[in-house]
Structure 1
């Protein structure tokens, strides 16, 4: 009699990842995390929210669970990825060298493709990503915003608290809006000749928010570069660097803007490409990753990024040739605010301090928790206003506690966030970009 053979080997179901096939976070990068928890104390979202899943370690747990098919990209998991500021403090502190920056950069496009947004979320994100990265579009709204402020509508709405109650994200946008002027920002020539002996030929990026709301910073940057022996090239065709969409997982838009920027500088024959905004600089240096799958731009992107220098990084490296003058009659007590995408993203911290200390009469103070994010994080303070509010308050308290009478900040988003919280506390303290201070010092202008 023939007996039936029974297979007792358990059937193993094939692993079905919760990520789609388009550039999921690499398994080897996920597995690099040993879950030691060193990142927890430096993570701003974990500090405020206090939940494990809103920390880098927790998010990597989620990535692993999604990759293993044990969880899905849904409303529950996506909220924890959305809560990440992308400040990269965890990258600086991780003893295992986990590339969390690459992990979150791969995960955010997955969320955007696979998790439908609510109607309110769609509206606010559409507003941000269809206006902010396009200076020409943003320029159209400036007269309306000017009237909004001049007619007292802004004060009335803030006093009633209606925005904050019914439209918290619009209230967050309104709260960081700087004073609007209808004065046209300076139009730069294509090439600005250097003063004295030519040392370098450099390209200069104007930015989006920077060129409209912080145009004096661009003007100061051009003056400081030219007086220190740089011929400055400013292509008219340049647009957004792609930082805003890239940080929020808007992959196609980021790639399109990055390619446009590369094309703008393609025939300029510059030695370096200079940027004066921290968040923009980090993204510009990441073009090799952003366009890694584009056969036509892969190498161009790498070559472009190799030329990118933050203006403070560049000046500290090549040295100043112009003499510096005091900014005040006596000593000036100043505090430098570390922008996350300079400190953690580009590892630039010492250079700005070195440059500022070259100005005669400067006393540079250091705040408590200097590496803590201010809560701006690109458009985070508009999308996650509650968390950003607490971080902004902490940052400003730490800056004020130094006793400094001037704050130096090298990123437009940080500057808007800090000015907002200074205003909320009724504090009148000057805030300037370090390059503006160098410009004043070179020109002998006192504060």
Structure 2
């Protein structure tokens, strides 16, 4: 490394890569290795590529960068690594060094990150004929994005109608003040889940304040668009500084890691632990039904709240919960991955949906909006009417107002 300063990004990547002992324990939990059976598409293969690029041993040819672009960032490897390799940091640093992938649909993602434009796309999805027509004339990546918009708007409206409980009376916030981060896509596509979180947290004794809807920067940060990510992080810090709260929460687990990086001294989490800490204040109607629970990679490996969520759902009497298999069974959504590599994303999704079909369930639950839209699109392709819901929406539907 020839005396490069420690803050040099190339040096930093090399230092992170040197932590890997090449043991191979990451291979069984890597979705892309399971998909391709190719060592370059494994965590230790990507670490070796990142180290070689950082040290200037090879130029960043398409053949070398493609496995890095294919990585889902699920972090299952980081969770099982006995050497404690900081794989997410290494991946983010390497992508920042290389810049965004050639396949990245930059203009489309700029639309996705803007809630006002998201609203217009949501309205467009209600017009089925227009959607089919646009699906024929739009470029490929835009067609993929259009396919992810909910087609069964009746399901969305029914979920929203069931959330029209009397609003819990505002309390003194004896549990503390919670700031809800709406996000960009989630603020539109997961609006009912955010209302559910606000309702349940208020009933549990928290004071809830809502931040402005904006992008946290996750899409840019994990795609190597560093300058855009830094701008988004600055906006997050500003809106946080404008409120007085004890916790920051998001209903979208894909935002957690980026929010935690932007606000390292703040407790940033999904709502489940806060609800679990005051669960005795919440009662639920029985629900004699079987539901499938999809645990997003970010919930299992970043939030690590999957056990807490399971405990909360089990508070609903008579509910039979079927958890879907965990790594290497990633659904393939992974932020912008579903738009950059739709064929690979669809292949990864097939394993998840094939298992769902064996369970005879009434709902499919998933707590990350990208995963849920991707899974719903796959169900639609299979002509399945299985509804998809955020777990918070189901909890709020069954909540008994006191």
Q: What TM-score results when the alignment is normalised by the length of structure 2?
A: 0.88
Which of 73, 83, 87 aligns to 2:74? It is: 87
Which of 385, 394, 402 aligns to 2:351? It is: 394
Matched, 1:283 2:270: no
Alpha-carbon distance, 1:276 to partner: 0.7
Aligned twin of 1:30: 17
Matched, 1:302 2:237: no
Which of 118, 127, 130 aligns to 2:108? It is: 127
Cα separation, partners in 2 of 1:155 and 1:126, compared to 1, 3 Å: closer
Unaligned runs of at least 5 residues, structure 2: 162-167
CA RMSD of aligned residues (A): 2.9
CA distance in 1, matches of 2:325, 2:98: 35
CA distance in 2, matches of 1:253, 1:405: 41
CA distance in 1, matches of 2:2, 2:53: 11
DSSP-derived class of the 1:286 partner: helix
Superposed, 1:319-338 pairs within 5 Å as 319-327=279-287, 331-338=288-295
Q: What TM-score results when the alignment is normalised by the length of structure 1?
A: 0.80
CA distance in 1, matches of 2:128, 2:76: 42
Aligned twin of 1:229: 205
Cα separation, partners in 2 of 1:168 and 1:54, compared to 1, 3 Å: farther
Matched, 1:106 2:78: no
1:317-370 CA-partner distances (Å, limit 9, x unpaired): 34341221113xxx2112211111110122222011000001111111233346
Q: What is the count of residue pairs matched by the alignment?
A: 390
Aligned twin of 1:171: 143
Aligned twin of 1:155: 132
Which of 97, 117, 122 aligns to 2:84? It is: 97
Aligned twin of 1:274: 249
CA distance in 2, matches of 1:209, 1:52: 34
CA distance in 1, matches of 2:223, 2:350: 24
Superposed, 1:7-46 pairs within 5 Å as 21-22=8-9, 25-46=12-33
By relative contact order (CA 8 Å, sep 6+), the higher-ranking structure is: 2
Aligned twin of 1:409: 366
Aligned twin of 1:354: 311
Aligned twin of 1:5: none
Unaligned runs of at least 5 residues, structure 1: 1-13, 187-191, 288-300
Alpha-carbon distance, 1:66 to partner: 1.8
Aligned twin of 1:294: none
Q: Is the 8 A contact 1:366 1:402 kept in 2?
A: no
409-418 vs 258-267, greater mean Cα deviation: 258-267
Alpha-carbon distance, 1:198 to partner: 3.3
Give 1 or 2 for the bigger CA radius of gyration.
1
Q: Is the 8 A contact 2:333 2:370 kept in 1?
A: yes
Q: Is the 8 A contact 2:372 2:388 kept in 1?
A: yes
Superposed, 1:409-428 pairs within 5 Å as 409-428=366-385
CA distance in 1, matches of 2:11, 2:335: 23
Alpha-carbon distance, 1:371 to partner: 5.5
339-348 vs 167-176, greater mean Cα deviation: 167-176
172-181 vs 410-419, greater mean Cα deviation: 172-181
Q: Is the 8 A contact 1:282 1:342 kept in 2?
A: no
Alpha-carbon distance, 1:110 to partner: 0.9
CA distance in 1, matches of 2:393, 2:30: 31
DSSP-derived class of the 2:99 partner: helix
Cα separation, partners in 2 of 1:197 and 1:269, compared to 1, 3 Å: closer
DSSP-derived class of the 1:202 partner: strand
Superposed, 1:231-246 pairs within 5 Å as 231-236=207-212, 238-246=213-221
CA distance in 1, matches of 2:256, 2:332: 18
